[in-house]
Structure 1
Amino acid sequence: MIAPVATRGLAVGSLEGGYGSSPVLHGVTLQIGPGEIFGVLGKNGMGKTTLLKTIMGLLPPRRGQVELLGENVTGWPAYQITRLGVSYIPQEKSIFQDLSVEENLRLALREPSRFDERLIAVAAWFPFLTARRQQRAGTLSGGEQKMLLMARALLTRPRLVLIDEITEGLQPAVATRLQEILVEERRTYGTTIVLVEQNVGFALALADRYAVLKVGTIVETGNSSDPGARKTIERHLAI
């Protein structure tokens, strides 16, 4: 059963999905409160990205229900889900390589008149992006492109952010900066954040609670502050 609207930012109930005739998710159920940071951990190939894409409307669910911010969005297309105030940062670098940094950022906003106001926040998060506004995005380093993805997602001041493996390939100092930015976004705007990660340290440093996904099934949940949380998660990742 899905919890009352007032107690959730995101809820999935008995969710099943996959690609074509290949099932990946097997009855996934999660409830995430508004303003909560929640980590979904697991090895490669366990269904983490499939879960986010199904929640985001990029893959159709076969069974089950998805509710975001109090709305039953099961089967909605991604553009409608975005309009609820949901941002998605995919694992792949989905920037427009041939456009400038500024053009990539402008594409995030449906209200162009608010761009200059929101750019102030980008300057505070990532000063180098505003200094390189006219640089072609494809010439940024891999880590810088990920920061551009983060800036583009947060520029809209989303109510819910879905983040897929943002720390993959990042230097520790950059990962720490992203952690600080996400904590500040939650503190300032009450943003609900769902992190898909293999970086256990990053996820536990940010998340209030976590779930471990294994072969498309939730096999463990807990509080990140629990003394044995890291050991429990790493045991699942090692098997």
Structure 2
Amino acid sequence: MPEPLLQVDAIDAFYGDFQALFGVSLSVETGQVVAVIGANGAGKSTLLKSIAGLMPPRHGEIVFDGHNVAGAPAFDVVKRGIALVPEGRRLFPSLSVEENLLIGGQSKRPGPWSLQRIYALFPVLAERRHLPATSLSGGQQQMCAIGRALMSNPRLLLCDEISLGLAPIIVRDIYARLPDIVGEGLSVVIVEQDIVQALRAASQVYCLQEGRVALEGAAKSLTRERISAAYFGV
């Protein structure tokens, strides 16, 4: 069997003295979509931040493409091919849509994603390319945040709560683009509170509960009862 693209091995993460992750492990194959679900405060965003280099784990390893990147600075993690779509989108309000996208390409990694490719994926961004990013609707801002991450030509895309605060029709529209993204050879990790959407999009699911992996398995094999028990800790 080939080695996974990403192997998170028993990481612990802390905010000061508060421990947020307890021995969390996760594996992502090339071209795979993995969903991480769980209630608020379960540690989902912390896990993505640890992988992206924003919150170095205190213990454990994060092996990406054969290299241990645990503790590496975020700019080095991006150069290796990991990009994060952060919760809340975090666009630069003083910049235009196109300027936000161009910032994502500063790593100069080679690959298929360019302004033209992003505009083909999200045509509404092309129409509004010269407008301030703050003028976009919530769904359009999420598309811009995804486009900015793709501009770094990653091999692994981390998406943190991409449906949060968005209308269901907008969420379906965004998820409908996922096959085009994966079709370019990317692996994707989605942090999602919408369990139905997560199970529909991913082949593998991890459920976190109070900073620990409470359940993992193939999406098609997990029953609603097992997910509920892991999600709520009952």
Asked if the contact 2:79/2:107 (under 8 Å) is kept, the reply is no
* Equivalent in the alignment of 1:63: 59
Moved more, 160-169 or 171-180: 171-180
Q: Which amino acid aligns with 2:143?
A: M
* Equivalent in the alignment of 1:222: 217
Asked if the contact 1:34/1:192 (under 8 Å) is kept, the reply is yes
> Identity, % of aligned pairs?
36
* Equivalent in the alignment of 2:230: 236
* Equivalent in the alignment of 1:205: 200
Q: Which amino acid aligns with 2:231?
A: L
TM-score by length of 2: 0.92
RMSD, aligned α-carbons: 1.8
Alpha-carbon separation, structure 1, partners of 2:158 and 2:80:
13
Runs of 5+ unmatched residues, structure 1: none
Alpha-carbon separation, structure 2, partners of 1:184 and 1:166:
16
Instruction: Map 1:155-166 to 2 at 5 A.
Output: 155-166=151-162
Asked if the contact 2:36/2:44 (under 8 Å) is kept, the reply is yes
State the 1:111 CA deviation: 6.9
Runs of 4+ that moved beyond 4 A:
none
Runs of 5+ unmatched residues, structure 2: none
Asked if the contact 1:14/1:64 (under 8 Å) is kept, the reply is yes
Q: Which amino acid aligns with 2:217?
A: G
TM-score by length of 1: 0.90
Are positions 1:91 and 2:79 aligned together?
Answer: no
Alpha-carbon separation, structure 2, partners of 1:206 and 1:86:
20
Asked if the contact 1:41/1:196 (under 8 Å) is kept, the reply is yes
1:202-228 deviation line (CA, Å, top 9, x unaligned): 1111101101100110011111112x4
State the 1:235 CA deviation: 3.5
Instruction: Map 1:1-239 to 2 at 5 A.
Output: 6-110=2-106, 118-187=114-183, 189-226=184-221, 228-239=222-233
1:67-108 deviation line (CA, Å, top 9, x unaligned): 112211111011000001111011122100111001101111
Alpha-carbon separation, structure 1, partners of 2:107 and 2:37:
35
SS at match of 1:96: coil
Between the two proteins, the alignment pairs up a number of residues equal to 230
Alpha-carbon separation, structure 1, partners of 2:21 and 2:144:
30
Q: Which amino acid aligns with 1:236?
A: A
